[in-house]
Amino acid sequence: MNVSYEVKEHVAVLTINRPEALNALNTAVLQDLSLAAAQAEADSDVYVLVITGSGRAFVAGADIVQMKDLNAVEAKSFAEVANNIFSKIEGMSKPVIAAVNGYALGGGCELAMACDIRIAGAKAKFGQPEVGLGITPGFGGTQRLPRIVGSSKAKELIFTAETINAEEALRIGLVSKVVADDELMSTAMEMANKIAKNAQIAVRQSKDAINKGMQCDINTGLAYETQAFSLCFSTEDQKDAMTAYVNKSKLSEFKNR
């Protein structure tokens, strides 16, 4: 297996595990990543997924050895397979945190960008080196990077193929937190556990409204939000939490229904 998967309470941790090739994404790794993400989505006990890499890389890109001799038709199919998997991860009902422990280059940066939140270890490195290899980004980089950091910075990063460090990634908004390398997983787990304690229907509706809203005009987005907001009033969680607030008591946990 190129991916290890374990569940701790309500948090699943998916570790890409091909350290000898800096976790480069070949067909087998993509397949295992896809299966593990689907497992997390299907498991009703899992509320949050954390994705990380083993060794000194998160993912150092798509596998260049596998890509080298592809023709255009094969390249299209490879890109489509990965794009489908990344879009499934992005579209998961549950929040996904990328704990970026090292190189996140090319397909690795693109995988991190398909996650909802990115936390970086201090040694993490980000970049889209594709034009230096004679190709464009192919696993979503031309689309997700400008949506996250703006088109000018995205174009600069993609056209120059420059690698940036974690502090610069934080400065441009590519990641939301940088922590010491040895605190990366504990920080990611702490954030995941904090999310897991909230009302999961509300968390998932929020994610859905944000994701849909990022793809449309603001009035359509506001309509998605109104739908998500009003749906929450049909849950026991909303009644329980607001009743507890009004009674000045503390809700011990959400039923998530």
List residues near ligand CO8 by CB under 6 A.
21-22, 24, 60-65, 67, 75, 78-79, 103, 105-107, 129-130, 133, 137-139
* CA 251 – CA 154 distance, rounded (Å): 44
Pairing of strands 163-165, 125-127: antiparallel
Q: Which residue has the tokens 């607001």?
A: 242
Query: Catalytic: 6?
Result: no
- Least distance CB 64 / ligand CO8 (angstroms): 4
Six-digit token string for 200 = 């999961």
Please state the φ and ψ torsions of residue 103, each to the nearest 5 degrees. Answer: -60, 130
Measured from the CB atom, the residue of 107 and 121 that comes closer to ligand CO8 is 107
| The one catalytic residue among 74, 80, 90, 110 | 110
Helices of type H across the chain: 27-42, 64-67, 72-90, 107-114, 141-149, 151-160, 166-171, 184-197, 200-213, 218-232, 236-246
Measured from the CB atom, the residue of 55 and 213 that comes closer to ligand CO8 is 55
Measured from the CB atom, the residue of 134 and 219 that comes closer to ligand CO8 is 134
- Least distance CB 75 / ligand CO8 (angstroms): 4
Six-digit token string for 208 = 């859905």
Query: Catalytic: 110?
Result: yes
- Least distance CB 100 / ligand CO8 (angstroms): 13
Using the 8-state DSSP alphabet, how is residue 235 labeled?
S
| The one catalytic residue among 41, 74, 130, 190 | 130
Measured from the CB atom, the residue of 53 and 137 that comes closer to ligand CO8 is 137
- Least distance CB 176 / ligand CO8 (angstroms): 23
Task: Name the residues annotated as catalytic.
Answer: 110, 130
